[in-house]
Structure 1
Amino acid sequence: MKFTSTRGGIEPTSLDLALAAGLARDGGLYVPESVPVSETKQAEATLAQTATALLEPYFVESRLREALPAICEDAFDFQAPLRPLASDNAWLLELFHGPTAAFKDYAARFLAGSLARLRDPAAAPTTILVATSGDTGAAVGAAFHRRPGFNVVILYPHGRVSPRQAHGLECFGDNVRAFRVDGSFDDCQRMVKQALGDESLRARVPLSSANSISLGRLLPQMAYYAHNALAFHADRGEKLNFIVPTGNLGNALACWLARRMGLPIGDIVLGSNANDVLPRYFAGDEYVPRPSVATLANAMDVGAPSNFERLRWWHRDDAELRAAMRAFRVDDAMIRETIRQAPQRHGVIPCPHTAVGLRVLEQLRDAGDPKPWAVVATAHPAKFDSIVEPLVGRAVEPPPALAAWLARPAHAEPLDASYDALRAMLAS
């Protein structure tokens, strides 16, 4: 299978080259030339086995083909359980059981395992460049920490992540450096894309990406949707529908791609915060990126979702795309109210992003929708203690892995929100 760019400016290339590059040379995002139909039917398989079966068609011509089961075993060695909510016919897909307590742990570990096996041991170290709105940076830092042949540069918007998120970005040291950017996530993302498209810089400093623009992040995220949809369908004989809190659109796109491959997934609904570019578009407005605004659900503070380019590439026109999913807007006042009521109404304490999904569930129920819904829980609420604990009136204990990195010293360096500043740092 070959992979091409959403902008059509390159010759189709191999998966291995697409994984190593991160971003296509024409500035587009890599996509498979065609989407295979999955033959995965094993409802009783492990999460790692489901991931392997789902990804095999993409790796047929890859040097990683034989290593794929081992990569998946390493990346998916913690579960993604589907827990029933107190509300009827609804579940929570818990994706926060990894080392940094966020859903991005799965794909970051998969990408790290893949790039480590593709890397020429004699080559200069590769710098993994990542922009983060809160959770991506910590997951990537943990996945690549102390891996030989790799350095990690994390860019995050100063003052726009929770204190515990910031600590998780800054606590690694060694081959991982964190930079607090005087700007928004959109600024960080723009700077990363400029660096990845700078051929003269890449000739001096080998670069790759670990954002959701990377195929190595997008493709493995299909696994937990496929795994739970298969088990649900085998148990109940119906498709599971998903509510996905979304910012840069990578996690939701992975759910859509799994459905496109033939997995028993029903409707997909996006939950956005006050950065409502996607709800406006799916309601019929033109797609118009906007400057991002800071919200309680900060990992979703994205005004120009990168993966929309992929989503549009896979659909013939706006009408077809708007028929593929829906999107709802949830503002900060709604997030606070949902967190406050969630223990009684749903039987859980959510993080602000998961609260967006729960609020969308409530809106669907109020509109008379009886279908089985799974709300995607993207992060552990303990990462947002300063927001969650005052609202629920109790302490939220961090899981052991989160507590361990909170105990580490943390350090970040300041960086201007300009590409010149980033380029000078990387070149030095």
Structure 2
Amino acid sequence: MKLYNIKDHSEVVSFSQAVQQGLGRGQGLFFPDTLPQFDDMDALLTMPLVERSTEILSALIGEELPKSQIGELVSEAFNFDAPLKQVGEHIHALELFHGPTLAFKDFGGRFMAQSIAAVSDGKKITILTATSGDTGAAVAHAFYGIDNIDVVILYPKGKISPLQEKLFCTLGGNIHTVAINGDFDDCQSLVKQAFDDNDLRQTIGLNSANSINISRLMAQICYYFEAVAQVPKQKRDQLVMAVPSGNFGNLTAGLLAKAMGLPIKRFIAGTNANDTVPRYLQSGQWAPHQTVATLSNAMDVSQPNNWPRIEELFRRQQWPLGELASGWADDEETAESLRALSQAGYLCEPHGAIAYRLLEQQLEDGEEGIFLCTAHPAKFKESVDAILDINITLPKPLAEHATRSVLSQTMDGDFIQLKESLLHINNR
């Protein structure tokens, strides 16, 4: 597998290099130079999740890793289901929260951890990542206890749900968590500054676990195939998928799946009030606003890192960018959609509710719709309980962490302070 730097096409790396390096020169994202196509899509879609995902990832990675080894990585990473649940006559929910940290990030986080461990040859590595909620838990649990890998997770102080925080800030060991006085974009900026410091990168073996790391993105492609596999064959030619979008890695994975031949008619990109992309698609002007806090905190991102990959893919495929549908919902509309779903007999959370709202609004006659449910409703217990006047029982993974003490340190958005902390962790 060869990948090129979107900002500097002369920088070409292997899968192993991309996984370990994270970002290219000038903070450029890596992108596959070719995308595999499958001769018999129907046969692929009849396979079980692990077997099919092994085929997909082997076709992407190529001969760099033996297919048997990729199968082992996938088996270890994807040891949970992604069921499709019917919510309306032509609307289905893809539940991506059945992994150990109850969020879709488990797919990418666990495969990435397996990949890095497989290609690093025991070298000491420091994983630095920013989270707006669910990435932190998925990455922390995926890497917890792995030898020679330290994980440092930055998150905006007071702007993720208390249960999200408990799930990854109570582990200790090789997991280090830092609450930043700022928003997610401030956390993301600190990660980028760290990658721009070449001496720091070399000294601590710096890598990232955000969706900027291609291994995470590749893993997410697989659950789009799993979704389509659960749709009756006669309905697959009119599929519309609504994706709740923050950093836009989730949507990027879906679009890559489509480019690889998966029969998805079109996508709807859904955001909250941090609506940079919907405004851009309407006006052609990239004009991020200051990030605002919302009920759907994992989508509180004004400058999504993965958007350049989406534009690169549309350019490569010669797809008109105007064909990408979008929309956004404010907190009141999100609450309305949660109540509507509840009345339909489906318990959801704010991110999935936004995707459902936009899908219901934009689905056309003859189309079959799927919206992505990216987290278990219990991870947003406070808001969901209040909106629906219920008392969600905590599933075991959350209940186990709910009473533990948060181990995070608090820091201003100061890179010098962060750098000192990273060097201290590396020298322990």
Scaled to the shorter chain, the TM-score interval is over 0.9
Aligned length: 422
CA distance 1:321–1:160, shift in 2 (3 Å): farther
AA aligned opposite 1:361: L
Q: Output one character per residue of 1:322-342: Cα deviation in whole Å (capped at 9) or x when no partner.
A: 234111010111011111232
- Contact conserved, 1:230 with 1:264, CA < 8 A, in 2? no
TM-score (norm 2): 0.94
Aligned to 1:33: 33
2:91, 2:368 within 8 Å by CA — same for their partners in 1? yes
- Judge conservation of contact 2:212–2:306 (CA < 8 Å) in 1: yes
2:64 corresponds to which letter in structure 1?
Answer: S
Instruction: Quote how far apart the aligned CAs of 1:315 are.
Output: 2.7
Give the 3 Å change call, closer, same or farther, for CA 285–318 of structure 1 in structure 2.
farther
Partner of 2:96: 95
For residues 323 and 20 of structure 2, the distance between their equivalents in structure 1, rounded to whole angstroms, comes to 31
1:77 and 2:76 equivalent?
Answer: no
- One-letter amino acid of the counterpart of residue 355, structure 2: G
Q: Deviation of residue 279 (structure 1)?
A: 0.7
Cross-structure match for 1:267: 266
Equivalent position amino acid for 1:2 in 2: K
Question: How far 1:234 moved relative to its partner?
Answer: 2.7
Residues 219 and 359 (structure 1 numbering): CA distance in 2 closer, same or farther, change over 3 Å?
A: same
Q: Write the mapping of 1:78-227 to structure 2, written as runs, cut at 5 A.
A: 78-85=80-87, 87-121=88-122, 123=123, 125-227=124-226
Q: What displacement does 1:197 show?
A: 2.4
Give the structure 2 partner of residue 21 of structure 1.
Answer: 21
Greater alpha carbon shift after TM alignment, 402-411 vs 45-54: 402-411
| Deviation, structure 1 residue 115 | 0.7
Q: Structure 2 vs 1, CA of residues 153 and 64 (structure 1 numbering), >3 Å: closer, same or farther?
A: farther
Aligned ranges for residues 254-293 of structure 1 at < 5 Å? 254-293=253-292
8 Å contact kept, 2:241–2:359: no
In structure 2, the gaps of 5 or more residues are: none
Do the aligned partners of 2:11 and 2:24 also contact (CA within 8 Å) in 1? no
The residue that corresponds to 2:297 in the other structure is: 298
For residues 114 and 317 of structure 1, the distance between their equivalents in structure 2, rounded to whole angstroms, comes to: 27
Tell whether the 8 Å contact from 1:15 to 1:58 is kept in structure 2 after alignment.
Answer: no
Q: Is 2:357 aligned against 1:359?
A: yes
> Which residue number corresponds to residue 47 of structure 2?
45
Partners of 1:199 and 1:178 in 2: how far apart? 23
CA distance in 1, matches of 2:119, 2:239: 36
| Letter of the structure 2 residue corresponding to residue 290 of structure 1 | H
Q: How far does residue 59 in structure 1 lie from its aligned partner after superposition? A: 1.5
- Partner of residue 425, structure 1: 421
CA-based RMSD of the aligned residues comes to 1.8
Structure 2 letter corresponding to 1:267: R
Q: How far apart in 2 are the matches of 1:235 and 1:80?
A: 21
Alpha-carbon distance between aligned partners in 2 of 1:6 and 1:374, rounded to the nearest angstrom: 30
Whole-Å separation in 2 of the counterparts to 1:54 and 1:256:
15
Contact 1:269 1:325 in 2 (8 A): yes
CA distance in 2, matches of 1:155, 1:55: 29
1:327 corresponding residue in structure 2? 326
Return the offset for 1:408: 3.4
| Alignment correspondent of 1:399 | 395
On the 8 A contact 1:52/1:68 being kept in 2, the answer is yes
- Structure 2 CA distance, aligned partners of 1:318 and 1:55? 20
User: In the TM superposition, what whole-angstrom CA distance separates every residue of 1:262-286 from its partner, at most 9, and x where no partner exists?
Assistant: 0111211011000001111122331
Q: Which moved more, 1:62-71 or 1:349-358?
A: 62-71
- Decide which structure has greater helix share: 2
For 1:321 and 1:192, the matched residues in 2 are separated by 32
Identity of aligned residues (%): 37
Change (3 A) 1:64 1:194: farther
Moved more, 231-240 or 351-360: 231-240
Residue 413 of structure 1 corresponds to which residue in structure 2?
Answer: 409
Q: Is the Cα contact below 8 Å between 1:133 and 1:298 reproduced in 2? A: yes
User: Which of 39, 45, 55 is the aligned partner of 2:57?
Assistant: 55
Alignment deviations for residues 237-290 of structure 1 (CA, whole Å, 9 cap, x no partner): 534321000000000110110000001112110110000011111223312233
Q: Deviations over 1:48-85 (max 9, x none)?
A: 11211111122213246441001111111100000000
TM-fit CA distance, 1:109? 0.3
Question: Aligned in 2, Cα 1:65/1:43: closer, same or farther, shift over 3 Å?
Answer: closer
